[in-house]
Amino acid sequence: MSTPVFQHAVLIGKHQAGGVSRTLGEIASWLTVQGVEPVIEEQTSLQCELPGYPSATLQEVGHGASGDWVAIVVGGDGTMLGAARQLAPSGVPLMGINSGRLGFITDIAEAQWPQALGAMLAGHFEREQRAVLAGQVLRDGETIYSGIAINDVVVNRSGATGLVELRVEVDGRAMYAQRADGLIVATPTGSTAYAMSAGGPILHPSLPGLVLVPIAAHTLSNRPIVLPEQVHIEIEVASRSDVGVNFDMQHFADLLGGDRIRLRIAPYRAVFLHPPGWSYFSTLRKKLHWHEILGVED
């Protein structure tokens, strides 16, 4: 048996989903046989019955990880995004086993994990780096929140009625002012999430760009726009109240008039590992049912 390219694997599971504990236990046992030390993410360990294995927070994994660590996520895209946000700064790569529904980035079928992980631990995988969006919320010039997103940052109304009024600057220059239900700033990864449902374009994940997508804009001429990756975006809240911001759908807090959200691409990337032969277009065909239209099968 050849030496695995990774010596340590942190296992992360959506513990609320049925059957995940069993799958995680099977993977941990299998990894041990392969010569890989399994470590259970702390919250996963608290919720799942996996005795006999050490546990650690993802922060601890990131601080101590070298190039022989990998994260294996069992769940859906939300679980994968949560892990990626914590591990991206340290460069720990992630593999995703899909026990959810869509699975745009958790692309290993749950029933096929032994074959997929066997090949990937032997070094046969597609390595992909995805952009990470970093942001700050400022009030009266002071930073009151900092966060990152793999998919998107969304500024939208938090009340039941009324439009959000926003002013957008790009690299210090006025771009537009708009009244809408909100505004989505999405990475290429997030272009197939909320941004797509709001009418935005799909960006290939290798593209160095960001997409701004208004949500139900009051003026029809306010259209989605794709910007270069290196720009700095600043959004000022002109509305007085009932405006919120979230990073990958993780709600921060209600905003006040005059608050500003500063966004830029982070200096690091989220690293995803895919099974051999993985194709982004194959994922789109399966998840968006393009094969039904084009008659293309994988």
Averaged confidence pLDDT in the chain: 91
Sorted by sequence, the CB contacts under 8 Å of residue 68 that are 6+ apart come out as 5, 6, 7, 8
The residues pairing with 128 across neighbouring beta strands, listed in sequence order, are 272
- Cβ atoms of 184 and 132 closer than 8 Å: no
Mean of the pLDDT values across residues 169-177?
96
pLDDT value of position 157: 87
- Cβ atoms of 182 and 155 closer than 8 Å: yes
Supply the CATH classification number for the domain 132-267: 2.60.200.30
pLDDT value of position 15: 64
Structure tokens at 276: 């051999």
Same fold, 8-125+275-294 and 132-267: no
Sign of CA dihedral 74, 80, 86, 91: positive
Domain ranges of the chain: 8-125+275-294, 132-267
pLDDT tens, residue by residue, 54-102: 999 999 999 887 889 999 999 989 999 999 999 999 999 999 999 866 6
pLDDT value of position 57: 95
* CATH class of segment(s) 8-125+275-294: alpha beta
pLDDT value of position 158: 80
pLDDT level of residue 162 (50, 70, 90 thresholds): confident
Sign of CA dihedral 48, 44, 82, 249: positive
Q: In what order do the strands lie in the sheet with 182-186?
A: 225-228, 209-215, 182-186, 152-157, 243-247, 250-255
Give pTM, 2 decimals.
0.92
pLDDT tens, residue by residue, 88-138: 999 999 999 998 666 788 989 899 999 999 999 999 999 999 999 999 999
pLDDT value of position 18: 62
pLDDT tens, residue by residue, 204-251: 999 999 999 999 988 888 899 999 999 999 999 998 778 999 999 987
pLDDT level of residue 20 (50, 70, 90 thresholds): confident
Catalytic center residues:
77
